[in-house]
Amino acid sequence: MNADPQAAATRPQSYPYWIDEHVRFADLDMQGHVNNVAFAVYAESGRAAFLREIGLWVPQAPRYSVIVKLEVNYRRELLYPCAIRVGVRVLQIGRSSFTIGVGLFDGEHCAATIDTVHVRMDAATRRAVPLADDERARLLAYLGALDA
């Protein structure tokens, strides 16, 4: 058992939800590798697909989530062309917030890990609200084993 959550974040088996992405030529910087901003876009694609899948992102819904913290750990460069796998897991569930971990993989190699803290909001009041029981249950199904 490995108690280091960052080590687990670099292993594909730590992620229960996956989407495919790819490096676009437009994602490159002047050195010819993927620009740091593109890493955040790949992670966004994974998060958005995941939140849609579990019903926590519905356009015009009375409740929504906002990102209050985003942390990127770059682990290896990505080059063009490249097929990327984006893994998503839930790291933590609080009263009105939850943390999502994303891993970007080139084959079995982890190129980056991105953690985001989301707060659940009421659309009418624009204030934080506690997670509903059904929202919590949907997130719990993807709570990643931190020592996987």
pLDDT at 137 over 90: yes
pLDDT at 3 over 70: no
Decide: 97 and 68 in contact? Cβ < 8 Å: yes
Is the confidence at residue 5, as pLDDT, over 80?
Answer: no
Q: What pLDDT digit, counting tens, does each position of 20-79 carry?
A: 999 999 999 999 999 999 999 999 999 999 999 999 999 999 999 999 999 999 999 999
* Residue ranges of domains in the chain, CATH in brackets: 15-140 (3.10.129.10)
**CA dist list (Å): 41 to 24, 29, 95, 114:** 11, 15, 27, 11
- Structure confidence by residue, pLDDT tens digits, 68-120: 999 999 999 999 999 999 999 999 999 999 999 999 999 999 999 999 999 99
User: Could you tell me what percent of the chain has a pLDDT over 70?
Assistant: 93
pTM exceeds 0.85, yes or no: yes
Q: How far apart are CA 141 and CA 106, in angstroms?
A: 26
DSSP 8-state code for residue 4? -
